[in-house]
């Protein structure tokens, strides 16, 4: 059984914490987390993961994600979740962009990608970021 990389583990923990803080245990955020676990960490129990991240500060989880490409996709998923739920880009998204030090052109790119789905053709930059991410490497 393969163990997820430290960056992927950090990304999954951060997504779990955002799901908890959004109280989105029945919605799209939890569904995405379940899908990510099924693909990248099938041995990880969702309930155990949620319990483990409850006492951990969001800033500590954000700092643990060191891979820029992972940071990009976490922020993109946070923005997508905000769009899907009809909420404006939440404080999580803004906090992630700031904490992750995402390039301004990448923030525009991720917003355009989400807002134009499912008709969007992925930009080469998005494909390049995905190829460098832990999500790709673990798939």
pLDDT in tens, 10-50: 888 888 888 787 665 566 667 778 888 888 888 889 899 99
Q: Specify the pTM.
A: 0.80
Which residue ranges make up each domain of the chain? 6-138
Q: Are 70 and 7 in contact (CB under 8 A)?
A: yes
96, 74 Cβ separation under 8 angstroms: yes
Number of H-type helices and E-type strands within the chain: 9, 0
Cis peptide before 118 (omega within 30 of 0): yes
Q: Give the angle 23-50-132 at the CA atoms, nearest 5°.
A: 100
Model confidence at 7: pLDDT above 90:
no
């Amino acid at each position: 059984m393969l163990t997820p990389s430290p960056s992927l583990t950090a990304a999954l923990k951060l997504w779990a914490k955002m799901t908890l803080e959004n109280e989105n245990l029945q919605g799209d955020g939890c569904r995405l987390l379940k899908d990510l676990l099924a693909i990248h960490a099938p041995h990880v129990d969702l309930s155990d993961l949620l319990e483990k991240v409850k006492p951990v500060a969001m800033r500590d989880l954000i700092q643990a994600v060191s891979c820029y490409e992972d940071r990009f996709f976490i922020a993109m998923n946070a923005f997508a979740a905000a769009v899907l739920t009809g909420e404006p880009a939440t404080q999580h998204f803004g906090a992630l962009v700031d904490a992750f030090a995402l390039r301004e052109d990448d923030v525009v790119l991720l917003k355009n990608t989400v807002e134009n789905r499912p008709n969007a053709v992925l930009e080469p930059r998005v494909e390049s970021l995905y190829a460098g991410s832990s999500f790709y490497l673990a798939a």
